[in-house]
Structure formats: structure tokens, C-alpha cells
Amino acid sequence: MFIALNFRILTVMTQPTPTRFIPNTLPKVSHGEGCYIVDSSGKRYIDGSGGPAVFALGHAHPEVNAAIKSQLDKIAHGYRYTFTSDPLIRLNELIQAQVGAELGNIIYVSSGSEAIESALKVALQYHWNRGDQDRKRFIARKRSYHGNTLGALSVSGFAQRRKQFEGSLIPCSFVSAANVYRPAIPGTEDDLSQFLADELEQEIVRLGTENVAAFLFEPVVGAAGGVVLPPAGYARRIREVCDRHGVLLIADEVMCGAGRCGTWRALEVEGVLPDIMTTAKSLGGGYVPLGAVLYSNKVAEPIVHIDGAPNTGHTFTGHTLGCAAAAMVQEIVRRDGLVERVRSQGETLLSDVREAIGALDAVGDIRGRGHFIGIEFVADRKTKTAFDPALQFTERFRARTLEAGLICYPVSGTIDGASGDVAIIAPPYNATRAELDEIIDKLAKGAARALADINAA
């Protein structure tokens, strides 16, 4: 899904894959108004996903736009080695108020992938400075996505996005996905979380504890699995495994964090603190390209002691305009109690989606937390058999929901890289009840039409 349709059309023209179901053209975006996006023909779409779960406050928010304009009238950017800035200091304060002092060390970057790159480098620098200079290896999970730069892709268990780059990626081990609907073993959630923790521990031991830098995971999986929540007790158990072996725990909250799941940190619910955490999309709410790495005082100590600061960053690290926009987004999130709103409204959203389409034979699972809901479509509900990828259910669903005037985030290949179809719903935090109802109504229409299409195919 993340690859723009235009690019896919080009791919189809230059490669022999003529069976792909591709709509002819993309609509041209004109403007946004809160939860709505209007294209150049005047058609209105309700934004049920904000692209890949980005727009925390919807579009063209007057206060965010005013903050951006006002910052631009002063200065766009004060370079990080020359200046700090009020927006950066304010954004630090707002994030620290949400995550607590222990995770209060922050590096700002311009994307989720850059946040992951810096997270990996902070982990390596921490170990190096402590004299653990062989700790170079990373462990991640199958069916995970951490970004598209070579380092971030190296730790992503996402075959479709890796295949042309294999051989140039850094080594990484992949343990089982933590998926309750499609569990790695039969049994209870507790059995599953114990199995997954044991599997992680065995992989650390197999690689040699002294060689492992960090274990990296998405507390709630986004595009790679379609809003996959871990089994109960999972986070606590992997935290214990990492602690036993001196391995750092990196929580990738680029998609699920910054309030999306009804707590500012998605992992907060499990009562677990990671050593390093990434955040991006909803941090700046889509108004600016912004990501951040947060790391604990424990991790900061040897880095600051020996080098003064993490050996990472870019020209636009801590971009002043980016920080000004994100500070206003976060100011509004806090002032209007939007994380709490997402939490309470999310329960109703989940049950309303279940009520609207849960009885369809083709709906295998509806899951999620806060404003982050995944609907897994299947050919056979009982056996959980996915649709034949040749039917291109996800492509048809995307086309049909767009036609119905809904933007959602359908992802495919969620089971094994080829099969598996999930629609993600991730509305703005400030969506009204009526707007959420409209999203659900259009979702049901789009699903019915897409299912009729594949029945007729």
C-alpha cells in the first residue's frame, strides 16, 4: 500500500505483471478541511486513516497552520550545532510531560526511517562506549516494518519491500510475529507470550549474548500485519529477557505511538518502559516531516560521559519549523485531552465496526485499540484461509472505498508477504462521533462492493 499508485502503474508498465488490478489514475488532491480531503474535481473524502495513520488533528487545522506561518515569518531553521530554539525546547517539554523523565533524552529527525536509523546507532554507541564492542547484532520480528532506508529495512521482516536489496542489508535475526489471531503455537495467550519470549531468549543465546545489541519491535504492528496487538504479558516477558542478557529493548512507535492507541506511548498499557523508543507520524500530525528517538537515562549515561552526545543526526535534525508545528500539534493534543478521547472513543469505534461488518463471512478478525483498528478479510472464516492474492482483494477494496468517499489504509501480504488482506482505520483524534459513523458507514459500503467484485471475478 505504501508504494504510491503512480509508481505501481509505472512498475506494471515496465515489468511483466499484467494481471494487477490498478485503477487508471489517482485523484489530484486539492485541499483539506478537518476530517475531509477534497480532490480537484470537488469530490470529498472522509479521512479514515490519514494515509498510514498520520493526521492526528485532521487537515488545515487553523492553530497549527498559524503556528507554522508565524514560525516561518521568524525563521525556518536554526542549524543544530549553532542554535537551539523555543519550539524545540517547548516540544521537548511537551513530550517529556507525556513519557516521563526516564525517557527524556530526545533526538529529532525528519521521518520514521531516520528515527529507526538513529535508534540503532544509539544502541550501538551505548554498547561501544561501555566496552561491549562486539554487540552489533539486532533481532527483530517477522511481519514487521521499521522503514525504508537500508538500515531500517535491514531490521524489517517485510519480504516484499526487501527483495531487491537482499545482500546489501545488515544482518538481522527474525523471531516469530506476536499475533494472537494467527499464533505461532496453539494454546492460550499466556502460552503464546511465553513461547515468544523463550524464542527470543534462544536466539540471543544462539547468537551469543555478547554479540547482541538490541531487540526491536512494534508494540502494535502497523502495515506489516495490520494492527496486530501482542498476547497478554508479552511486553513484560521480552523486557525481562532483554534485561537478563544486557540487550536493549527498542519500541518502534512510529505508527502506533503519540496517542494513536489511546495512550501517548502504546507500550504504556503493558506497564513496560523501553530503553529506546521511536515516534513519528502523529507527532507532527502530518503537517511536517518529523520523527524522534527517545532514549533512557541509562542509555544516555555512557554516551554523554564519553562523547557528549549521540553520534547521529542530519542537516535538518531539530528543524525549527518542524518543531514549531509539532509543538502546536502536541499542545492541542494535551489541551483538548485528545489522548483520553482516543482511548474512550476507541472502545466505541471498535464495537461499532464489529457491529457494522463483523457478521460478514469474509471478516475474520476486527482488532485494535484507540483510533487504530484493523479488519482482516478472509476467504474462509473458520479456517482463517486468506483470499488468493491473485484476486487482489486489497486493491479492489481500496478502489471501492475511495469510490465511496473514504480514505482508509488497506495493506496486503500481512500473513506471509503474499497473502493476507487487512484494512486499517486510523481517524484523526478529534474526529466527531458523526464523522466516525460516516467512516464506518462508508467502510461497510466499500467492503460490500469489493466482496461483490471478487465474487464476480
Ligand X SMILES: Cc1ncc(COP(=O)(O)O)c(C=O)c1O
Interface residues with ligand X (CB under 6 A) are 52, 111-113, 116, 145-148, 218, 222-223, 252, 254-255, 280
d(CA 245, CA 248): 9
Closer residue to ligand X, CB minimum distance, 223 or 339:
223
Best CA proximity match to 430, nearest among 323, 339, 319, 313: 339
Best CA proximity match to 287, nearest among 30, 29, 66: 66
Q: How far is the CB of 145 from ligand X (least distance, A)?
A: 5
Please say whether the beta carbons of 68 and 324 come within 8 A. Answer: yes
Give kind and range of the element (H or E) at residue 331. Answer: helix 320-335
Closer residue to ligand X, CB minimum distance, 8 or 381:
8
Closer residue to ligand X, CB minimum distance, 140 or 327:
140
Closer residue to ligand X, CB minimum distance, 197 or 254:
254
Q: How far is the CB of 57 from ligand X (least distance, A)?
A: 18
DSSP letter string, 251-277: EEETTTTTTTTSSSSGGGGGT---SEE
Closer residue to ligand X, CB minimum distance, 222 or 226:
222
Closer residue to ligand X, CB minimum distance, 125 or 282:
282
Closer residue to ligand X, CB minimum distance, 252 or 275:
252
Q: How far is the CB of 53 from ligand X (least distance, A)?
A: 8
Closer residue to ligand X, CB minimum distance, 128 or 264:
264
Give kind and range of the element (H or E) at residue 44. Answer: strand 44-47
DSSP letter string, 283-308: HHTTSS--EEEEE-HHHHHHHHHHHS
Find the largest Cα–Cα distance for the chain.
Answer: 66
Please say whether the beta carbons of 256 and 225 come within 8 A. Answer: no
The alpha carbon of 137 is separated from its chain's Cα centroid by a whole number of angstroms, namely 23
Chain residue whose CB lies nearest ligand X: 112
Q: How far is the CB of 278 from ligand X (least distance, A)?
A: 7
Locate cell 478478525: which residue?
A: 365
Angle between helices 338-357 and 433-456 (to 10 degrees): 40
Cβ atoms < 10 Å from Cβ of 70: 11
C-alpha cell at 324: 514549531
Closer residue to ligand X, CB minimum distance, 34 or 50:
50
Q: How far is the CB of 112 from ligand X (least distance, A)?
A: 2
301's CB contacts (< 8 A; 6+ apart) are none
3-state secondary structure (DSSP) of residue 212: strand
151's CB contacts (< 8 A; 6+ apart) are 116, 117, 120, 170
Closer residue to ligand X, CB minimum distance, 291 or 446:
291
DSSP letter string, 430-446: T--HHHHHHHHHHHHHH
Angle between helices 62-74 and 320-335 (to 10 degrees): 150
Closer residue to ligand X, CB minimum distance, 255 or 332:
255
